[in-house]
Amino acid sequence: MKSAVIVVLFRLFTIGVCVDGNEESVSVAEGDSVTLKSGVTEIQTDDEIEWWFSGSKIATISRDDGGISLSVKPDGSFRDRLQLNNQTGDLKISNIRDSGDYKLLITSPRDPPPEMTFTVKVVSADEVKSLSVMEGDSVTLQTGLTDIQRDAVIRWRFGQQKSLVAEINRKAGIFKTFDGPDERFRDRLHLNNQTGSLNITNITITDSGLYEVEISSTSSKHTIHKTFTVTVSDAVKSVSVKKGETVTLPITEIQKDDLILWMFGEIVLAEIHKAAQRFYISDVPDKSFRNRLQLDHQTGSLIITDTRTTDPEEYYLKISSSRHIINRRIIVTVGPGLSPGAIAGIVVGVLLGAAAVVVVGVIYYRRRSSRNVNRQNPTSNGAQDPGDHVNEGTELTNAS
């Protein structure tokens, strides 16, 4: 009965911690990774550790006088997805797809521990693991937990070097963030004390890269790994139009499961949820928009027609899913004295945003003189990171 309840909770929270002697249940979202721990601190001479799945041996690690030998037998489906720790024999399964029992068998001339079974339940998830955001956004990467267990250990890492940028260890009383490589995250990382989610404020181009969270606990024999590929682009977030013109507030990209809210202060002006086919437009309390708001169902952009100088200047965009939350501020200035090219300029900005998303790994440094489109944060800290390729000479457009 109790375990049934726990299994239900696993499904919801995509992490399972259930230690019952030699059996452990693990729930992992499809595509995430999991490390199954052998419980061995160091493999001794003549020890042999075997991992089995569904009746076949998938990995072996043994130690004899000649050293340690590792062998992974990817019979097709596990190809390149298994990693063995040569000290402990822990098995990491990346990009998990297969539910079932993973068995650990340790053969040792001393007292071999009993066979251990990890029952892995893979929960389907069509969430996309890559995320494109704009410079200046505030971004939360979600653990998927609703509550941090008392013995939880959560570690956030960033970049190729996997630098530790945040850590929670309840038992050890640790709850802190770090500045990261080149102190690039200084004062911009915050941990949610309920979920362990990582909030990055005022994101910059050099924050682009791979974020990984490891979720484990002092009492469980497994670790869940979730990865997030974040691409930060330098796109238009501040637009000026001439009174009476139409303005399209851009969005980088939307995913099916995203819930998108366009807000003015606390007021929701529009809501989009593609998965539920919900498209909703509202108005400010004094109804001053009067049918002048439209939604582009495909892109999620908010369109304001027949703009007025009395229209709000500051709009907030909130994009959320179970994996991430993005908050963006967009400034619209309505005034006289602008050329009719304003709308074209904005459209170019949107296309550029999309182009920046497509080009992964290369960061374009866009310089454009624009009378129509004022960019926020024209500088970037690109020079700080020697690993980043900053291509100063590349001009994507010539907004003339």
Ligand X SMILES: *[C@@H]1O[C@H](CO)[C@@H](O)[C@H](O)[C@H]1NC(C)=O
| 3-state SS class at 273 | strand
Judged by CB under 6 A, the stretch of 126-134, 197-205, 284-292, 301-309 that binds ligand X is: 197-205
Say whether residue 17 binds ligand X (CB under 6 A): no
- Which CB, 243 or 318, lies closer to ligand X? 318
* Ordered alpha helix ranges (H), the chain: 2-13, 342-358
> Edge to edge, what strands does the sheet with 302-304 contain?
247-249, 302-304, 293-295
Say whether residue 67 binds ligand X (CB under 6 A): yes
Q: Which residues of 157-172 are buried (b: 16+ CB within 10 A; e: fewer)?
A: bbbeeebebbbbbbee
Q: Shortest CA distance to 253 belongs to which of 265, 235, 266? A: 235
In the complex, least distance from residue 193 CB atom to ligand X, rounded to whole angstroms: 4
Cα–Cα distances (Å) from 91 to 81, 332, 395, in that order, read 10, 52, 47
Say whether residue 68 binds ligand X (CB under 6 A): yes
Say whether residue 195 binds ligand X (CB under 6 A): no
Contact with ligand X (CB under 6 A) among 193, 291, 391, 394: 193
135-164 positions binding ligand X, by CB under 6 A: 138-140
**CA angle (97, 103, 106) in 5-degree steps:** 140
Say whether residue 325 binds ligand X (CB under 6 A): yes
**Distance linking the first and last C-alpha atoms of the chain:** 70
246-265 positions binding ligand X, by CB under 6 A: none
Contact with ligand X (CB under 6 A) among 377, 382, 384, 390: 377
Do strands 100-107 and 116-123 pair parallel, antiparallel, or not at all (unpaired)?
antiparallel
Say whether residue 201 binds ligand X (CB under 6 A): yes
In the complex, least distance from residue 67 CB atom to ligand X, rounded to whole angstroms: 5
In the complex, least distance from residue 303 CB atom to ligand X, rounded to whole angstroms: 24
- Which CB, 199 or 307, lies closer to ligand X? 199
215-234 positions binding ligand X, by CB under 6 A: none
Looking at the DSSP assignment, which residues form a beta bridge with residue 18?
A: 25
In the complex, least distance from residue 313 CB atom to ligand X, rounded to whole angstroms: 16
Using CB under 6 A, count the residues that bind ligand X. Answer: 16
DSSP secondary structure code for residue 371 in this structure: S
In the complex, least distance from residue 88 CB atom to ligand X, rounded to whole angstroms: 10
Judged by CB under 6 A, the stretch of 132-140, 178-186, 221-229, 329-337 that binds ligand X is: 132-140
Q: Shortest CA distance to 376 belongs to which of 252, 240, 183? A: 240
Say whether residue 22 binds ligand X (CB under 6 A): no
In the complex, least distance from residue 52 CB atom to ligand X, rounded to whole angstroms: 23
In the complex, least distance from residue 346 CB atom to ligand X, rounded to whole angstroms: 22
- Which CB, 77 or 86, lies closer to ligand X? 86
Q: Which residues contact 173 (CB under 8 A, 6 or more apart)?
A: none
In the complex, least distance from residue 194 CB atom to ligand X, rounded to whole angstroms: 7
- Which CB, 36 or 148, lies closer to ligand X? 148
Q: Which residues contact 266 (CB under 8 A, 6 or more apart)?
A: none
Say whether residue 373 binds ligand X (CB under 6 A): no
Cα–Cα distances (Å) from 173 to 89, 150, 152, in that order, read 29, 10, 11
Contact with ligand X (CB under 6 A) among 170, 190, 274, 292: 190
Contact with ligand X (CB under 6 A) among 71, 146, 202, 339: 202
Q: Shortest CA distance to 121 belongs to which of 153, 137, 97? A: 97
Q: Which residues contact 166 (CB under 8 A, 6 or more apart)?
A: 154, 155, 156, 176, 177, 178, 189, 191, 198
Say whether residue 86 binds ligand X (CB under 6 A): yes
Judged by CB under 6 A, the stretch of 160-168, 193-201, 223-231, 349-357 that binds ligand X is: 193-201
Contacts with ligand X by CB under 6 A lie at 67-68, 86, 138-140, 190, 193, 199, 201-202, 204, 325, 327, 377, 381
